[in-house]
Structure 1
Amino acid sequence: MDLISLADVQAAAGRIRRRAVRTPLLSCPWAEGRLWLKPENLQPVGAFKIRGATNALRALPERRRAAGVVTHSSGNHGQALAYAARAEEVRCTVVVPEGAPEVKLAAMRRLGAELVPVAPAERERTAVRLAERRGLTLVPPFDDREVIAGQGTVGLEIVEDLAGVDTVLVPVGGGGLASGVATAVKGLRPDVAVVGVEPELAAEVAEGLGEGRRVSWSPERTHRTVADGVRVGPSDLTFAHMAARLDGVVTVTEEEIVAAMGVIARRARVVAEPSGALAVAAHLAGRAGGGCAVAVVSGGNVDPALLSRAVAGEPAETE
């Protein structure tokens, strides 16, 4: 399969400049070992997804961009595409799974997106049908070369800003972020380890890498995790990137995820949604290896009640 290159990520960096924030690295003297956070919750839409959505939209020919775009998303990618579309004066439709967090749905509505709720298993098929029926361009949340390249700019910035980095920890769901970050980091610093992190209750990539093939878990199975942003597994494209470029994938429990959210909020003053706390959870659990580590906090669009429980140190509630 034809994988994206470092040059693709570098081209994306030029397209998203002045649209996405170049987030800082935050040192964590309170953590065991040397840990830095890459707080993508500071993006205008509260998550890294703005990078890939903006790159994909700006890479489209003018005619296709003007016709409008559609995607399927539990929230963060939908918000990102809606934000990017509004900046370019393009209409945006988002197919959302029933049960998605209201905080994310409300954010997409505020950005002007049309929402189409469907059963979780129908989200991708519905988006494809809408694209065909309305003449829209489908911008997938991760199964797209331009989206992957845009997410990879996170890795470019890490390597440029921290010469002594040994390990980059990145959340894994659909795999667009991990694919892009691994491409950028390995392209610039082959010696740096890039490790993906999944919830135990949605560990499709960890299982797939162990078996040497992509595997799929049912929505009913992955829906059990509190980390709603990583309930969807990889595509053939993202799995190929991760199989070729990740140094491994580790898993964390629901309790470790929620505990990490609380630690990040109390000690780093950073708001992380469950998916955004995965990388820090792996470090705190001692599964990240040694040396100087950067944990990507992928987003901060969290339900206030869940954040309150996490900060208070209350246990996770799984479905």
Structure 2
Amino acid sequence: MFGIEEIQAARERLAPYIYQTPVIHLQNLDETLGCQVYIKPECMQRTNSFKIRGALNKMLTLPKEELKNGVVAASSGNHGKGVAFAAKLLGVKATIVIPDNAPQVKVDGIRNLGAEVVQCKLSERHVIAGQLSEKYGYTIIHPYDDYQIIAGQGTLGLEIAEQLPDADFVVVPIGGGGLIGGVSTAVKSEIPGARVIGAEPAALRRYAKSVEAGERVNLEEQRSVADALLTQKPGEKNYPIVTANVEGFVGVKDEFMLKAMKLLLMEGKILAEPSSCIGIGAALQGELKKWNVKESDRVCFVVSGGNVGLDQIKKLESIC
């Protein structure tokens, strides 16, 4: 069984290598969002994303024998950058399989860390990673469906619990479920009264649909500005963890993610990618009203990454 002990062990393992990012109260956003706005800015993390936590934790737990031929990872970009960083640290070869429409800033970030990049259709990432593993003996570092990955991401939740022990809500971006699985486990263990909400793209509500169906469902491939959150099916290991600890799920439209990105940049002075702004977008869209979030409630929004290029920032000029 997966629990807080695995997350605590991951924290000790990762301590020499990652940053403990702060929790920041963005008071000038309180009135706009209708709550006490706190953020956990993983855009300031090494590799500019929370993904380094899980990737490095997984690779630090693997025997050298499993790493000798190298590693391969399917990714939308941020996980790949985390794996590339960990591989460079450990002196092993890394191959990252990412969508052919991934933001160039993510492709360049992976290559700059010395990893090989293979690009393909979004839906083919895991298939191609599996083929490369079989052909070359690479060890697969899954982006979310792995307990060591979930534990690594959960270290972020432990930090929130220490930095904001009186949090009322924690709003977390959700794709396959690695981040929210770990964060919700840590938060519910340390702050039982806090409520964790998952924010997913309105175009791809794989968790909401799965809960409605009573089992994991696989949705058709979709496009969204939330390029890091386009996993089509909840992870097998993640799903029971998430459904046990998460209050519910909200669907956020692209326009509100972009509005949130602009708000964070212009008013909060935080540069984050669209996927990472989805929680703020949910608040702007009015989704948090479903949980009766009050002006006095302390809401921590996980801003999960900041791998964004100038081309994406320029598009914000037309966003009202």
Q: Which amino acid aligns with 1:292?
A: R
d(CA) in 1 for partners of 2:318 and 2:284? 15
In 1, Cα distance between equivalents of 2:12 and 2:39: 24
Letter in 2 for 1:28: L
* 1:285, distance to aligned residue in structure 2 (A): 2.9
1:293 counterpart = 2:320:
no
Asked if structure 1 preserves the Cα contact closer than 8 Å seen for 2:173 and 2:180, the reply is yes
Equivalent residue, structure 1, for 2:228: 229
Cα displacement string for residues 260-299 of structure 1 (whole angstroms, at most 9, x for unaligned residues): 0000001111111011001111123332333110000001
Mapping 1:1-319, distance limit 5 Å: 2=1, 4-31=2-29, 32=31, 33-219=35-221, 222-223=222-223, 225-233=224-232, 234-288=234-288, 289-290=293-294, 291-310=297-316, 312-314=317-319
Q: Equivalents in 1 of 2:131, 2:43: separation in Å?
A: 32
Distance 1:100 1:212 in 2: 32
Measure how far apart 1:66 and its partner are.
Answer: 2.9
User: Which AA in structure 2 matches 1:230?
Assistant: L
Partner deviation per Cα, 1:140-193 (whole Å, 9 max, x = no partner)? 110111001000011000001112101100000111001010111111122110
Per-residue CA deviations over 1:4-28 (Å, capped at 9, x if unaligned) read: 2000000110111121110001111
Deviation at 1:313, TM superposition (A): 4.6
User: Aligned letter for 2:52?
Assistant: I
| Counterpart code for 1:86 | K
1:158–1:313 CA distance, 2 compared to 1 (3 A):
farther
Instruction: Tell me if structure 2 keeps the 8 A contact 1:226–1:254.
Output: yes
CA displacement 1:47-70 (0-9 Å, x = unmatched): 100000010000101221233111
The runs of 5 or more residues in structure 1 that have no matched partner are none
TM-score by length of 1: 0.94
CA contact (8 A) 2:257 2:278 kept: yes
Gaps of 5+ in 2: none
Aligned to 1:115, what secondary structure does the other structure show? Answer: strand
The 10-residue stretch of structure 1 (298-307 or 192-201) with the greater mean CA deviation from structure 2? 298-307
- State whether residues 262 and 313 of structure 1, in contact with CA within 8 Å, keep that contact through their aligned partners in structure 2: no
Counterpart secondary structure, 1:142: coil
Distance 1:64 1:105 in 2: 26
Count how many residue pairs are aligned between Structure 1 and Structure 2. 309
CA distance in 2, matches of 1:189, 1:227: 29
Alpha-carbon RMSD: 1.3
**CA offsets, 1:69-94, max 9 Å, x none?**
11001110000000111011111111
Work out the percentage of aligned pairs sharing the same amino acid: 38
Q: Secondary structure at the match of 2:250?
A: strand
| 8 Å Cα contact 2:4/2:189 also seen in 1 | yes
With structure 2 as the length reference, what TM-score do the two structures score? 0.93
Q: CA deviation at 1:100?
A: 1.2
What is the DSSP-based 3-state SS (H/G/I as helix, E as strand, rest coil) of the residue aligned with 1:21?
coil
**Does structure 1 conserve the Cα–Cα contact (< 8 Å) formed by 2:166 and 2:191?**
no
CA positional deviation for 1:126: 1.0
Give the residue type in structure 2 aligned to 1:232: T
User: Which residue identity is paired with 2:319?
Assistant: E
Measure, in 2, the Cα distance between the counterparts of 1:30 and 1:36: 11
Which consecutive aligned stretches of 4+ in structure 1 deviate over 3 angstroms post-superposition?
none
Task: Output the CA distance in 2 between the equivalents of 1:284 and 1:159.
Answer: 25
| Kept after mapping to 1: 8 A contact 2:165/2:191 | no
Deviation at 1:96, TM superposition (A): 1.4
Asked if the contact 1:259–1:313 (Cα under 8 Å) also holds between the matched residues in 2, the reply is: no
